Amino acid sequence: MTTLILGTATAGQNRPLIAVPVIGTTISAVLGQVEQINESRADVIEWRVDYLTDLVNLRAADVQTILFNADKPVIFTWRTATEGGQRPFDIALYELVYRLAIKTGVAAIDIEHQLFTQVADLVADAHIAQVPIINSQHFFADTPMNLDQVFGQALTTAADVIKVATMPQTDGDVDYLLATTHQFATQGKPLITMAMGELGQRTRTIGGRNGSQLTFATLGAASAPGQLDLATLLTLLED
């Protein structure tokens, strides 16, 4: 299994990295949340830039300020509205802000699987700059019954890490995601997987045993259904 490394953070054999999302709507609010995470036992920060109300005016200096003040590696993410985010996809603005992130040296960028062909030049730029790319897919309605194809197709892209999040309707759906994660964990790219909602919460604590190398927790508002608060997650992981 290829170990997930994000900046200075390295996943353990059975202990996934813990990322806490930053969902501030202004740079000032983002800084405040970053400082809170700095004092926590989280390993990684995910900056959800789709929450910024003035994203169109994001500058390189803003990104540099966040990275300078972050004591932990930062994943840069614009989650589109079609996959549960706050903004619709705008290719011109998307490429602009992602290039700012690449040039300023974030630990990784998250690009949704559906966008890879549309932003192929951006993907190439990230590889030239040696910024890892997370290929992400989010299924908010259900758990696809062809998860092997979902993982397989993602593995063929130029991504460095594969992320799949599903919405289970039954315990069997949760078991299916865990089993598929285990199946693909040795296919050459690190995996990040979770089943969302209350039904899927156990994947956030035991997913590491099946090959998922990062999980998400909160220090405030959640950015996805089923995220546990950091203190609870740490207790369960160390149990």
28 in a labelled binding site: no
Q: Which residues pair with 218 in a beta bridge?
A: 229
238 in a labelled binding site: no
User: How does strand 133-139 pair with strand 161-166?
Assistant: parallel
41 in a labelled binding site: no
* Rounded Cα distance, 103 and 111, in Å: 16
CB 135 within 8 A of CB 122: no
Active site annotation includes 103: no
Please give the structure tokens belonging to residue 67.
């990275």
Neighbours of 77 (CB within 10 A): 26
The 10 Å CB-count burial string (b at 16+, else e) for 115-149 is bbeebeebbebbeeeebbbbbbbbbeeebbeebee
Active site annotation includes 72: no
Active-site residue, from 72, 113, 138, 189: 138
48 in a labelled binding site: yes
Nearest partner of 199 among 166, 231, 164, judged by Cα? 166
Active-site residue, from 72, 103, 127, 163: 163
- Residues flagged as binding site for 3-dehydroquinate: 46-48, 79, 204, 223, 227
Catalytic residues: 138, 163
- Residues flagged as binding site: 46-48, 79, 204, 223, 227
